[in-house]
Chain A
Amino acid sequence: MERLGSGGREGARRIGEVLTWDPLVRLTHWSVALLVLLNGAVLEDEGQPHVWVGYAVLGLVAARFLWGLVGPARARFTSFPPSLSAARLHVDEVMHGRERRHESHNPLGALMAYNLWATLLAICATGLMMESVAFFGVEWVEEAHEALFAWLMISVGLHVSGVILESFLSGRNLVRAMVGSFHKRSGGGA
């Protein structure tokens, strides 16, 4: 693994003005996104692979959860606590064109991150229930599983819109920070 700034100040490297997220954040993010796509659009709901993919998502979110407790400062939950009032303030600042720079997720993005994780966990939980003897074939569990997935899709739509909007407004490419650089840093960036 790369240096994560064990000095601990940021846990990320700079690429130009964009701070790259640490490798675990990037890995869990894109793996979860890929697996969600796989389970939602490619694999059959009924099959065993769908269940394995669900377990993998659960594992990835769990890993990210641990990282949120012990990882580098920027990835920790304490760096982006869920706060409605902070989110409201953030929206207000953005509307007035005087947004501050946030080292971790901006307060609105933080709420979205928690929403996405909570939804993913709830989807996994109802999925596990459907596999259990107690809830096998129980209709409301299945309906909840599907409704939660629909909510996830809505959330992802808002999430991606938010990322694009924030990138636009702040002039910093947030997607690049989540993709990171697969090359050694070179003069031209990226």
Chain B
Amino acid sequence: MKLAPFALALAFAASPVIAQEVAQGDKIGTEIGAIASALSERGYEVRKTEREDGKVEVYAVREGRRFEIYVDPETGAVTRVKEKH
């Protein structure tokens, strides 16, 4: 069972992250680099970032769910979290 230790490690790695989904209003950073690392720390896999209408738009995947997260680079706050279904 080579997978067992791996699954265990994954479980540990993932567990502290579970409670930390970002929500509207969270301040996560004013620069793309900071935003991306804040999201990675909270368990998001950042796929793409771009600027759209003065906002930073982040495409990210978290636990098999797809999100588009918008951040206001002025305040560093999340303005919108859109989950794709």
Could you list which residues of chain A lie within 8 angstroms of chain B, going by C-beta atoms? 131, 133, 136-139
Contacts and interface: CB of A to CB of B under 8 A. Distances in A.
Contacts of A139: 48
B48 A133 contact: no
A46 B66 CA distance: 14
Main secondary structure, interface of A, reads loop
Contacts, number: 19
A136 B58 CA distance: 11
A164 B69 CA distance: 48
Contacts of B84: 131, 136
Nearest to B84: A136
A138 B47 contact: yes
A130 to B, nearest CB: 10
A133 B60 contact: no
Interface of B: 47-48, 59-61, 64-66, 84
A136 B67 CA distance: 9
17 contacts: A131-B84, A133-B64, A133-B65, A133-B66, A136-B47, A136-B59, A136-B61, A136-B66, A136-B84, A137-B47, A137-B48, A137-B59, A137-B60, A137-B66, A138-B47, A138-B48, A139-B48
Contacts of B48: 137-139
Contacts of B64: 133
A108 B48 CA distance: 41
Nearest to A135: B47
List of 5 A-B pairs having minimum Cβ-Cβ separation, nearest first = A137-B59, A137-B47, A137-B48, A136-B66, A133-B64
A32 to B, nearest CB: 26
A146 to B, nearest CB: 14
A61 to B, nearest CB: 25
Contacts of B59: 136-137
Q: Which of A131, A133, A137, A139 has the most CB of B within 10 A?
A: A137
Contacts of B60: 137
Contacts of A131: 84
A136 B61 CA distance: 8
A184 B84 CA distance: 49
Contacts of B65: 133
A133 B47 contact: no
A63 B37 CA distance: 47
A133 B59 CA distance: 11
A133 B64 CA distance: 6
A132 to B, nearest CB: 9
A139 B84 CA distance: 17
